[in-house]
Structure 1
Amino acid sequence: MSHKALGIYREPEFSPGKVEADAAILDATMAELKREGVEIQTIDAVSFAAGAPPRADLVLPMCQGPRALKRLAAVEQAGAIAINSALSIRNCYRDLLAPGLERAGVPTPAGALIPADEPLDARKLAGLDLSAGVFVKRGDLHALAPEDVQRAADRAEVEAILANFARRGVRFAYVQQEVVGRVVKFYGVSGGAHFSVHPEGEEVPEAAVRALAEAAAAAAGALGLQAWGGDVVLSGDRFAIIDFNDWPSYSRVRGAAARAIARRAISLLGRSR
């Protein structure tokens, strides 16, 4: 009997400027599974959350909204394997991401989750040097608009950004210490299926790539992710992971990533039987 796989597209509101790219990696992965004899079906996140989803042995969700994640958790409880699981997707919300990276023991800047709609309590920022620069990020999801991640150089700027968040209905903010260096994007699939770095300029030394691959795999393990990516700041032979995401668009390595995710999915299906 062949396996059945259900792919769930990301909600457009969680995919600013990347709706087509996010859909493309899911479609490419589903096509790879079909070539392996898996029966495939795709659905949008709203329809998935609203009704009883089709039966599937494997679910490949890019959804991120609370309703879809609640439905996904129920589907997993019924026996389906998910790449990524509802819990691991929720772990990439900023309120849980920082503790997850700390659990993994990977290099990451100091930070603090604070209310955006209350007077700033300086004690909560005691581990940060505001004069050295910090980034104030919305405290739930990743950036959905340019103003969701802003640099601040002092307390007054932090307070102004928090006030803006509060006016927009963003209740919490994550304040992260700025790290000097160049920002590099990376993509991965767990189980050693894929890892790649994508610098804009000078290539990343091989030793740094190996160290980053090890740290990123540890972070993915702590968060429970199978398909993942993120951003790292490199400075000489040192690095700090500043962001980690569930199932990115893999735009620069779409074909290779789709094959790797499909291989990982089939491997996990085999282990579950």
Structure 2
Amino acid sequence: MSNRALGIYREPEFSPGKVEPDAAILDATMAELKREGVGIQTIDAISFASGAPPRADLVLAMCQGPRALKRLAEVEQAVAVAINSALSIRNCYRDLLAPGLERAGVPTPPGALVPADEPLDARKLAGLDLSAGVFVKRGDLHALAPEDVQRAADRAEVEAILADFARRGIRFAYVQQEVVGRVVKFYGVSGSAHFSVHPEGEEVAEAAVRALSEAASAAAAALGLEAWGGDAVLSGDRFAIIDFNDWPSYSRVRGPAARAIARRAMSLLGRPR
């Protein structure tokens, strides 16, 4: 009997402005698996979370909401391979992301998780220099709106942003030290299946790409991710990873990424479980 793969689309509320690109990378990956003789089926996250999921040996999960992740964890216990696993997706929520990057030992700016609806405790920000600039990010998911990541130049601005978060129902915020340099986006698939860096301006030196690839791969392993991406700030020959995401849209490299994810999936299916 051939293997069967179930693809789960990301919830629209977690794909602001990227519903179609997110769906496109999942569809492209499923098409690659179909060429390998794998039976495929796709489902939206709400249906997956609320009903009995179809039998599958492989689950390609872009969902991020708590209900879908709970169901995904149950499916994994039934011996299905998951890209990405429920735990690894949850590890990309900001409250767990920073500790995960620290475990990986990768260059990342210092930061602190603080309540948005309580008076600011300066002791929690002791490792940060507010006068050098910080970014205040919603403390659960990645940015769902432009206001979910804001720069602050001093304590007063941090407090004002926290108050705005609290008014919008965001309970926690992650305050991250600003790093000066140019921001680059990177995409990866574990098992050395794919890694690419995408600067907005001049190309990145090969040595820097190799170093970033090693660091990002270590971060992905610590978080448990198979399909991943993120942002880094380059300054000379140094870099810092400032964000990490489970299964991005891979918009700039959709074809190669889909083939890489499919290869990684087939490799994982071949392993004893």
Count of residues in Structure 1 that have an aligned counterpart in Structure 2: 273
Please report the RMSD computed on the Cα atoms of aligned residues, expressed in angstroms: 0.4
TM-score (norm 2): 1.00
- 1:82-121 equivalent positions in 2, closer than 5 A: 82-121=82-121
| 1:135-159 deviations in Å (ceiling 9; x for gaps) | 0000000000000000000000000
- Distance in 2, matches of 1:115 and 1:272, equals 44
- Distance in 2, matches of 1:243 and 1:152, equals 18
| 1:43-94 deviations in Å (ceiling 9; x for gaps) | 0000000011000000000000000000000000011000000000000000
1:203 Cα deviation (Å)?
0.3
Three-state SS of the structure 1 residue aligned to 2:6 is strand
| 1:197-233 deviations in Å (ceiling 9; x for gaps) | 0001110000000000000000000000000000000
Three-state SS of the structure 1 residue aligned to 2:127 is coil
1:272 Cα deviation (Å)?
2.9
| 1:153-205 deviations in Å (ceiling 9; x for gaps) | 00000000000000000000000000000000000000000000000111000
- Distance in 1, matches of 2:108 and 2:162, equals 22
**Structure 1 unpaired stretches of 5+:** none
Q: Give the share of equivalent positions with the same residue, in percent.
A: 91
Q: What corresponds to 1:67 in structure 2? A: 67
- Distance in 2, matches of 1:163 and 1:77, equals 41
Q: What corresponds to 2:222 in structure 1? A: 222
| 1:17-42 deviations in Å (ceiling 9; x for gaps) | 00000000000000000000000000
Three-state SS of the structure 2 residue aligned to 1:272 is coil
Three-state SS of the structure 1 residue aligned to 2:136 is strand
1:2 Cα deviation (Å)?
0.4
1:127 Cα deviation (Å)?
0.2
- Distance in 1, matches of 2:130 and 2:264, equals 42
1:255 Cα deviation (Å)?
0.2
1:114 Cα deviation (Å)?
0.3
1:250 Cα deviation (Å)?
0.1
- Distance in 2, matches of 1:272 and 1:13, equals 36
Q: What corresponds to 1:267 in structure 2? A: 267
**Structure 2 unpaired stretches of 5+:** none
